[in-house]
């Protein structure tokens, strides 16, 4: 079982809307339910000046009473959310920026994942992180960017 994991906001969103999530709805729900039952920690970036970009994205994007938001709150209450630095060396920062050039938020998710123990990012964003980018990041940084369905066995 994974000690820690980073979850992209889109996975949390997909668990709350079967009409918009398409084939991602059921795997997202199964993954988040397994995460809630597991001991795996949810990693977010450190609060600097009272603000975490990842936590802010969760809170501003996830509708109140959605499954994804309720999961994040439950993990916060049970102290299963941990802060991880997004600070990386300059070469790593530039590599991530080159691989994910259009989305600085996704760059942050990748940098935080780089500093976790298990280096797993669950994301359904194939626009900003297509298979070629996921493989390049895996090869260089040893980070696995996987879908909820692929992550499910690791949190059960």
For residue 47, is pLDDT > 80?
no
Structure-token pair, residue 102: 């259009």
Averaged pLDDT score across all residues of the chain = 94
Taking only the tens place, the pLDDT of each residue in 101-127 is: 988 999 999 999 999 999 999 999 999
For residue 48, is pLDDT > 80?
no
Which H, E and C letters describe the chain, residue by residue? CCCEEEECHHHHHHCCCHHHHHHHHHHHHHHHHHHHHCCCEEEEECCCCCCCHHHHHHHHHCCCCCHHHHHHHHHHHCCCEEEECCCCCHHHHHHHHHHCCCCHHHHHHHHHHHCCCCCEEECCCCCCCCHHHHHHHHHHHCCEEECHHHHHHHHC
For residue 134, is pLDDT > 90?
yes
pLDDT score at 51: 77
Residue 33 confidence class, pLDDT cut points 50, 70, 90: very high
- What are the structural domains of the chain? 4-155 (3.40.50)
């Amino acid at each position: 079982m994974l000690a820690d994991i980073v979850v992209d906001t889109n996975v949390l969103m997909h668990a709350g809307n079967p009409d918009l999530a398409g084939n991602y709805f059921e795997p997202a729900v199964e993954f988040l339910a397994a995460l809630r039952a597991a001991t795996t920690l949810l990693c977010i970036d450190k609060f600097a000046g009272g603000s975490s970009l990842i936590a802010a994205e969760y809170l501003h994007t996830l509708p109140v009473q959605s499954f994804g938001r309720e999961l994040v709150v439950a993990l916060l209450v049970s102290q299963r959310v941990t802060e991880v630095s997004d600070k990386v060396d300059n070469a790593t920062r530039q590599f991530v920026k080159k691989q994910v050039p259009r989305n600085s938020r996704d760059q942050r998710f990748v940098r935080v994942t780089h500093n976790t123990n298990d280096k797993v990012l669950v994301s359904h964003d194939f626009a900003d992180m297509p298979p070629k980018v996921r493989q390049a990041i895996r090869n260089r940084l040893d980070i696995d960017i996987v879908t909820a369905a692929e992550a499910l066995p690791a949190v059960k």
